[in-house]
């Protein structure tokens, strides 16, 4: 894909979603880390419902380890995999207290060593809480990048991230991450992408394929309906 097409894609999604932002409610790096950790295989909406009360009750790492594990589990039970996540949160909080004076480290390589914090979570935290450019690849970013040809179909999540980092100017990484998520969440949806009204259809291999398939289906339906009409007339 050439640089002009990449620019066209970036400018188009910027126009479509100028206010794209992190949809997980948080007021500091620690809350953001907890929210991203909770969001694995769970919608941001559900996480936000749970964190309304959670962040009232638990404000510091000390608060999370002051309660029995079962109590924390109950407080996040509406979230998928809540038992594992509760365990990760308490273990992470212990490390934050023992090694980082209760603060979330701003370095990516330190963040990924924390329990429950993978590469994606670390990217979200460094970019949103510490202003370090990063592109976190979640399910929306991966799907949209592959459909548009910004990455290959068989690329791993890490390969998608590397290709995006190569193609997108560094000072646009964080915003592009948010815009690709909004584009995937509200427009290029997994099951029903809005190809017919998509301003990127002209450069999208997946969209063109889908439109062609839908045209062939419509032609077939038209032919079969015409045949049936003829049959009725001849009878
Ligand atoms: S044309 Fe369809 S598949 Fe391609 S980006 Fe647009 S909505 Fe997604």
What's the predicted TM-score (pTM) here? 0.86
pLDDT band at 33 (very low <50, low <70, confident <90, very high): very high
* Model pLDDT, residue 220: 77
Q: Going by C-beta distance under 8 Å and a sequence separation of 6 or more, which residues neighbour residue 142?
A: 151, 157, 160
Alpha helices in the chain, H assignment, sequence order:
3-16, 29-38, 44-57, 61-65, 69-75, 82-100, 108-111, 119-130, 139-148, 157-167, 173-186, 205-234
Residue-level pLDDT at 8: 96
Does residue 120 carry a catalytic annotation? yes
Residue 184: CB within 6 Å of ligand 1?
no
pLDDT of 233 above 70: no
Q: What percent of the chain has pLDDT over 90?
A: 86
Q: What is the pLDDT of residues 48-59, one digit of tens each?
A: 999 999 999 999
Place of tokens 């941001």: 44
- Of 75, 85, 138, 146, the catalytic one is 138
Residues 154-168, mean pLDDT to the nearest whole number: 96
Specify the length of the chain in residues. 235
pLDDT digits (tens, 9 = 90+) for 93-119: 999 999 999 999 999 999 999 998 999
Chain-centroid distance of CA 205 in Å reads 21
At residue 60, the pLDDT reads 96
Would you place residue 18 in the very low, low, confident or very high pLDDT band (cuts 50, 70, 90)? very high
pLDDT at 212: 85
End-to-end CA distance of the chain: 56
C-alpha–C-alpha distance, residues 155 and 153, integer Å:
6
Nearest atom in ligand 1 to the alpha carbon of residue 198 is 6
Per-residue pLDDT averaged across 119-132, rounded?
Answer: 94
For the record, the structure tokens of 104 come out as 């979330």
Does 176 have pLDDT greater than 90? yes
User: Pick the catalytic residue: 75, 85, 120, 163?
Assistant: 120
CA-CA-CA-CA torsion sign (25, 31, 36, 37)? negative
Establish whether residue 211 lines the binding site of ligand 1, counting it when its CB lies within 6 angstroms of any ligand atom.
no
């Amino acid at each position: 894909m050439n640089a002009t097409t990449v620019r066209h894609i970036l400018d188009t999604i910027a126009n479509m979603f100028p206010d794209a932002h992190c949809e997980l409610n948080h007021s500091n790096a620690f809350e953001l880390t907890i929210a991203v950790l909770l969001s694995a295989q769970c919608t941001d909406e559900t996480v936000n419902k749970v964190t309304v009360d959670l962040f009232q009750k638990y404000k510091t790492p000390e608060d999370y380890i002051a309660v029995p594990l079962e109590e924390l589990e109950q407080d996040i039970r509406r979230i998928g995999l809540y038992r594992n996540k509760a365990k990760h949160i308490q273990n992470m909080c212990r490390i934050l207290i023992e090694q980082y004076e209760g603060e979330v480290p701003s370095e990516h390589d330190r963040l990924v060593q924390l329990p429950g914090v993978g590469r994606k979570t670390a990217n979200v935290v460094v970019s949103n809480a510490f202003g370090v450019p990063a592109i976190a690849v979640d399910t929306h970013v991966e799907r949209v990048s592959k459909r548009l040809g910004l990455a290959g179909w068989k690329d791993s999540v890490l390969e998608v991230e590397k290709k995006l980092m190569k193609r997108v100017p560094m000072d646009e990484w964080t915003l592009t991450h948010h815009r690709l998520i909004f584009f995937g969440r509200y427009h290029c949806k997994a099951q029903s992408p809005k190809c017919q009204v998509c301003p990127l259809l002209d450069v999208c291999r997946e969209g063109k394929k889908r439109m062609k398939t839908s045209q062939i289906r419509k032609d077939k339906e038209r032919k079969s309906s015409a045949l049936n009409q003829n049959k009725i007339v001849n009878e």
